[in-house]
Each structure stands twice: as C-alpha cells, then as structure tokens.
Amino acid sequence: MDFKVSFWKKSFRLLMAITVALCLSPSTALATDISTNTINNTDITNAQQKFTAAGKTLTNNALINRKGNNTVFTNSKANITIINNVGAVISTDKDGTKNNAIKATSSTSTTITNSGTISSENDNAIKIDFTNSGIITNNAGGLITANDVAIYAGSSTGLTITNSGTISVASPSNTAINLINSTGATLTLKDEGIIVGKISFNSTTNSKLQLDHGFGRAYFYETSGDFTLEDLSGNKVVKGSAGSVGLGGQETVDELLGLRTYNLRSVLKRYASAPKPTDDMVWGETFGYSSKRGGTDTILKYDTYGYGMNFIHPVTSKLDLILSVERNELDFPEKHDVSRTGFIAGVNVSEFSGFGKGNWKAGGFAVAGMGWHNSKREILTNTTSSGFWMLLLIITA
C-alpha cells in the first residue's frame, strides 16, 4: 500500500526530535550531580547543583542561576565546601515559592566561602539548618543578599559566621541574619563589613556576637535574642542592641591642651628675645606644627597638624596683650576626623614688681579662649540602607 507524508509533517517531526534532544542535553538538565571536586568556569542557568557525595568541593568562577528552590543543595552530606570567587554569582530567581540560593540541611562541617555574590529574589541567600559545625565566611567585597533573610540558620550547632563584606536585605526593617533554635553560634563582624537588616538570636543558647571593626570604630547594631557580646578590638561595647562610640580619650584632650600651652610658651620666649616693638606697634608671627601619637590596645593613635598666627602688643615695658588664632586638624583612625578653629587671648607679665631678688625675677601669663569643633564620623549600623551613618557635630567650647 502506498501513502504520502506531507513536507510539513516531516518538518514537524524533525522539530520535535530536535526539541527532545535539547531537553535531554546536559546543558539544560534540571539538576547536576556533584560527586567529585568541581570547578565551574561557565555560566549555568536553571540547573540545580546537588551534592551526591560527602567531602566534595564546588568552586564557582561564573554564574550559577536557577529559577526556583535551592540553586546549590546539599542534604545529609559531611565536609561539603562551596567556594564562590570574586566576580562569581550563585543566585535564585523569584518564582512565587520559597527559594534559596544555597541550602545545606542535616549536614556536618559545611563550609561556604564567598568573595562574589550570593543572592535570592525571595527568601534566603543561604539557608543552613539541622547542621553541625558549619562555617560561613563573607570576605571583603563579597555580597550576600536576599529579599527577606540573607542568612537563615535554624536548629544548628556550632555554626560560625564571619563577615567582612556586605550582608543585606531589601529593607533595614527585615532580618539580615536569623539564628533561631541554635546552640553555640558565633557571629563575627569584622573590619569595614556592612550589615543591612536586623540581627536575630531568637531561642539560641551559648551564642556570641563578636565585633572586630578596629579600635576606635563607632557602630550600632539592632539585635534581638539572647547572646554574649564581645568587642575583640578593645572598644567599650554596650548591650541592649550592640553599640560602641569611642570618644578619643581624656588623655587626648590633655595632650592637645599641653601642646597649645607649649606653643604659647615658645612664642613668649621668642618675643622676649626679639627687638621690642614701640607702643603703637604689634609684634606678630605665623606658625605651623604637626604631631603623631602611636596607639596601643587602650589608647587611640592620631595625627594632628595646625597653623595660625600670634600677636603680642606691648602696653607697658612689663605688660603685653596676647592674641593667638589657630586652625587644627585631628585625624583619628576608623574614619573619625575633627577640625578646630579657635583663639586664645590674655595678658603676659614679663616681671612682677616686688617679686624680684638679685638675679631672680618672676613673670607669667593668663589666657582664655574659645574654639569651634567640627566632627565628622562614620558609624556602622544595620538600621540604614547604606549600612552606616555619617555623624556631623559642631561644638563650641
């Protein structure tokens, strides 16, 4: 029996065959098993990376993205390592259901190290639950971000999270890091790391929040739950939330006052040895100086420099009027600068009558002044979308 197949039917069958082949090809598979140490250098879309063997490492140098849940997934596997390098991205797109860029559950010693971007448009960038001895490290320049909770850790033991980069959520009113029903968790915020969103230690036991931003660094973090608060840099920290504002120390005030007094004494010595001006003239000079102080674990280091003008007007042979105008800059570490403009005025008595005896004579000076201080200071905080406040103060003293 003879029959004919139209050209269009042949084309349709060919198209169907190509479609089936593409659907079954590895590049578009719904999941890729990771059973050996794997280095990814090419973009992957819509393919879950699932660990099927313990003790393996996934190193990502490109894009791994999935629309849906758990872009990178490990379940009941020990000693899993996930490394997301600079410029690399592990992400999940919002599809109307809960989703996580990385999820580790019921695992032991899972290590996640991020220097690139880990992001979720919906729930969690990283979700780690029912795990023991997990480690999450976000290096400087790294970004861990999500719409709701950037890092969610539930019912885990011995989890360590260290941040030197940025961990953020869509709004500061959301929770950036949520440690819930966990034991022995340690969260360390280091260097110039940024947190946008609340920090929660709800229903945790023996947990710690450690701050290591540097001695003299000001910060304020909104927190909740029960935890031990430590500043590893030696700052005084106040629990309630977590805040520290170093004031520079009373010893700094004493040293700068001593420096101005020394400079004034030096001016009067130079004036005493200079040719005396007539009664209708004013003796004057310009000056400049710089000074550095090294720091310790309890004393802030600083650099200071200043410049100004001194004026002395003789009233009598033994009585002079003094006026000194000065501009001073004080640079503390950890993004804190103070500018001061001020003056001092008073009198100088070169010799008190009746106090001299033989080659001895007594003199002195008395001055008072006023200063205007402009302070500029960056305060790290999780209550703003930028992750910091810029505090500007103008003080008259």
Domain boundaries, the chain: 25-244, 250-396
- C-alpha distances (whole Å) from 249 to each of 212, 259, 282, 336 are 20, 16, 38, 13
- Cβ neighbours, 10 Å, residue 44: 19
Contact 109, 132 (CB under 8 A): yes
Contact 308, 324 (CB under 8 A): yes
- Residue 13: per-residue pLDDT: 55
The radius of gyration of the chain's CA atoms, rounded to the nearest angstrom, is 34
Q: How far apart are CA 144 and CA 127, in angstroms?
A: 12
- C-alpha distances (whole Å) from 130 to each of 150, 182, 225 are 18, 9, 20
Q: For residues 261-279, b (16+ Cβ closer than 10 Å) or e, as one string? A: eebbeebbeebeeeeeeee
Cα dihedral 272, 277, 278, 282 sign: negative
Contact 70, 103 (CB under 8 A): yes
- Residue 355: per-residue pLDDT: 61
- Residue 76: per-residue pLDDT: 95
Q: How far apart are CA 147 and CA 164, in angstroms?
A: 20
Q: What is the pLDDT along the chain (397 residues), one digit of tens a residue?
A: 444 444 445 554 554 544 444 444 433 446 799 999 999 999 999 899 999 999 999 999 999 999 888 999 999 999 999 999 999 999 998 775 678 999 999 999 999 999 999 999 989 999 999 999 999 999 999 999 999 999 999 999 999 999 999 999 999 999 999 999 999 999 999 999 999 999 999 989 999 999 999 888 889 999 999 999 999 988 888 776 776 665 555 456 656 777 777 788 888 888 888 887 776 789 989 988 888 877 666 667 778 888 999 999 888 888 889 999 999 888 877 777 888 888 889 998 987 776 656 667 777 888 888 888 888 888 899 999 999 888 766 777 6
- C-alpha distances (whole Å) from 176 to each of 161, 221, 391 are 12, 11, 24
Contact 216, 333 (CB under 8 A): yes
Q: How far apart are CA 57 and CA 40, in angstroms?
A: 11
Closest CA to 241 of 280, 203, 201: 201
Q: How far apart are CA 219 and CA 204, in angstroms?
A: 24
Which residue is associated with the tokens 């009941």? 76
Q: Model's pTM, two decimal places?
A: 0.74
Q: How far apart are CA 92 and CA 64, in angstroms?
A: 9
Q: Which DSSP category does 299 fall into?
A: S
Contact 191, 164 (CB under 8 A): yes
- Residue 89: per-residue pLDDT: 98
Q: How far apart are CA 352 and CA 363, in angstroms?
A: 6
